[in-house]
């Protein structure tokens, strides 16, 4: 059985993951309209992945005797001036998600809820991968600079982005 403190903290993370899905969906939509087929494909996939992260939390809370809370979504506030700015925001967002996961891990230890602590280790590893991927992509964007041919190749490669770091699934 989950303590109320753990249940509340997990429900907060459910909202974080749901909001993340919406943020990536907004990024995907913008990229698609701008003609960035590869970037939009990547962002749509990221949106779905974040939704699955949320569902994993929902199921965990409910299976442990708690009640998962499903929150409404808010319109993401993004700077959509360029693909470079988009990916900088992606990294900043993933860092915030990592901080939220780390806070949750700390709460699970404070509450001596070792089952939840163990469950959350997957999220810790996943966030390491998410941040590493964002940094890797930003490094590629910085290499491209203002080269249109480089941008074309980058966008094309994003269709089949393969993580240089792989977290356990």
Annotated binding-site residue numbers: 17, 50, 53, 94, 127
- Per the annotation, binding residues for Fe cation are 17, 50, 53, 94, 127
Dist. CA 61–CA 41, nearest whole Å: 31
Would you say 87 and 46 are in contact if contact means Cβ atoms under 8 Å apart?
no
């Amino acid at each position: 059985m989950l303590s109320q403190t753990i249940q509340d903290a997990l429900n907060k993370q459910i909202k974080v993951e749901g909001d993340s899905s919406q943020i990536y969906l907004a990024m995907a939509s913008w990229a698609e309209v701008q003609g960035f087929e590869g970037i939009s494909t990547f962002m749509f996939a990221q949106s779905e992945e974040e939704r699955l992260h949320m569902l994993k939390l929902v199921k965990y809370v409910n299976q442990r005797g708690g009640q998962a809370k499903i929150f409404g979504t808010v319109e993401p506030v993004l700077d959509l001036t360029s693909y470079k700015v988009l990916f900088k925001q992606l990294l900043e967002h993933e860092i915030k998600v990592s901080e939220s996961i780390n806070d949750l891990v700390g709460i699970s230890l404070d509450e001596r809820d070792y089952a939840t602590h163990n469950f959350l280790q997957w999220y810790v590893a996943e966030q390491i991968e998410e941040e590493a991927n964002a940094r890797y992509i930003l490094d590629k964007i910085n290499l491209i600079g203002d080269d249109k041919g480089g941008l074309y190749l980058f966008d094309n490669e994003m269709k089949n982005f393969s993580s240089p770091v792989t977290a356990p699934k």
